[in-house]
Structure 1
């Protein structure tokens, strides 16, 4: 199988002020990560392309990703940032709509208050996405799942995908409230889920594939195989693992599925969700 899509990775030219979330515990990723760094990893692991996701909250970031995608054919899609709270949001989306590789948007809601997704201005922005066929990536901690459930319920026509399985606290093993939220949100047909970002929620130094298994079990028991996609979360994954190990962990877990279902998770679902 050499037709895989990495539905979730990042590029940046490291800036210690803008990228202050990359603190000294994450020294390994305090440097530039650009397309030429990712391409060999994709090729080595049989990936034909990727979706580049915003890492900082500015339109400059969106333009930076558009620029990279215009020069690198293997970047098949972009999830950018725009201020969804802007009262001129339709105008901003219209401005960006000429860029064919720009597929959707994301806000770093994990850094906001738990009730952020109830804000009227934010919801106004979400309501504008559909007109332009834009997707929305939900980046939250598991404690924000109740607000996310309300959001996907109130916008049934909008395509949503949950990043990083909603960031359960794998390191502490706090499981039940996350599981309950996943059981609820997975019932919505407009919601997909990225199998991504798990190793960085586990113990960076000592995690093993069996630490992730209970969480993967919940995801596969609740989401249809048509709504799941692989994302590496490269280069963030480097603080806890490496690209090949993250791919192998999922490969081993889904080996029991049919080839057709494996192909959905590695390729088909990301392609159709983001219209790549």
Structure 2
């Protein structure tokens, strides 16, 4: 069974997603019921909702919307990773409010579509330090060349658990492994960083990828981080760009067919249970 640590729900009737207009393949509704039907068929037992870069004024509304979905009988959703804006002076008050909400399990500020300099601003860096002691995680969504900047953020808050999303977004379709490989090895030296093996089929050529295409990238991440610091995620619906949820789950099983049952359990569910203190 899987714990999905990276689920997105898109409901354009409920929330505004300014970025969707630039991604036509995702510019439609991807609702919870659609996800849950497929997720239950492929062995997903629980899910954490990952913020979907809603309009800044809708951050709290997104949390409330996902909380409503989680409250439905039999819901797979057990918590939420909230959007945040560490570059803003209001972040300390925002953090205190979210710390008081047990539904919130962590934060993410999407960085891969932002100027590289954003995470180097003094206020951003000062606010990142405030995460220490909060018991809330922080997801790092960056491109390969930005991984050193992500590592610098992890150094600012050594007591915070950071998650490197999507294996560091390698350029699988282009076959590029450098400087991605070197940057992965470097950030993996930080004990407070965990890697998400999440939806990497979205970064491969949708028409030609095979399990063998993904393997060098996924295996490098596992080799660098080890089995105690990797977690699984679907990145639904972004994974539909490379085939969809069932395809990604099948690829996952193929990628890890040769490892021990204990190693699979750590990746699929046990590490997530430990990190977020989730109950079965």
Please report how far the alpha carbon of residue 207 of structure 1 lies from its aligned counterpart in structure 2 after TM superposition: 1.6
Please report how far the alpha carbon of residue 44 of structure 1 lies from its aligned counterpart in structure 2 after TM superposition: 0.6
Query: Distance between the aligned counterparts of 1:197 and 1:252, measured in 2?
Result: 14
For 2:138, the equivalent position in structure 1 comes to: 136
Equivalences for 1:34-49 in 2 at 5 Å? 34-49=31-46
For the aligned residues, what is the CA RMSD? Answer: 1.9
1:9 aligns with 2:1: no
Please report how far the alpha carbon of residue 24 of structure 1 lies from its aligned counterpart in structure 2 after TM superposition: 7.2
Query: Distance between the aligned counterparts of 1:159 and 1:207, measured in 2?
Result: 32
For 2:180, the equivalent position in structure 1 comes to: 178
Question: How many pairs does the alignment contain?
Answer: 272
Query: Distance between the aligned counterparts of 1:77 and 1:272, measured in 2?
Result: 14
* Compared CA separation, residues 65 and 124, structure 1 to 2 (3 A): farther
Query: For the Cα contact (< 8 Å) 1:185–1:191, is it kept in 2?
Result: yes
1:196 aligns with 2:198: yes
Query: Distance between the aligned counterparts of 2:11 and 2:267, measured in 1?
Result: 30
Query: Distance between the aligned counterparts of 2:67 and 2:95, measured in 1?
Result: 14
Residue segments in structure 2 that go unaligned for 5+ positions in a row: none
Q: Counterpart of 1:8 in 2: which secondary structure?
A: strand
Q: Counterpart of 2:49 in 1: which secondary structure?
A: strand
Cα deviation 1:218-245 (Å, max 9, x = unaligned): 1121111011111111111112202111
Deviation larger for 82-91 or 5-14: 82-91
1:53 aligns with 2:50: yes
Cα deviation 1:167-225 (Å, max 9, x = unaligned): 11111111120000001011111000100131111112222211111101211211110
Q: Counterpart of 1:7 in 2: which secondary structure?
A: strand
> Please, what TM-score do these two structures have when normalized by structure 1?
0.91
Query: For the Cα contact (< 8 Å) 1:186–1:223, is it kept in 2?
Result: yes
Query: For the Cα contact (< 8 Å) 1:195–1:228, is it kept in 2?
Result: yes
Query: Distance between the aligned counterparts of 1:130 and 1:71, measured in 2?
Result: 33
Equivalences for 1:240-255 in 2 at 5 Å? 240-255=242-257
Query: Distance between the aligned counterparts of 2:152 and 2:263, measured in 1?
Result: 30
* Compared CA separation, residues 71 and 86, structure 1 to 2 (3 A): farther
Deviation larger for 129-138 or 262-271: 129-138
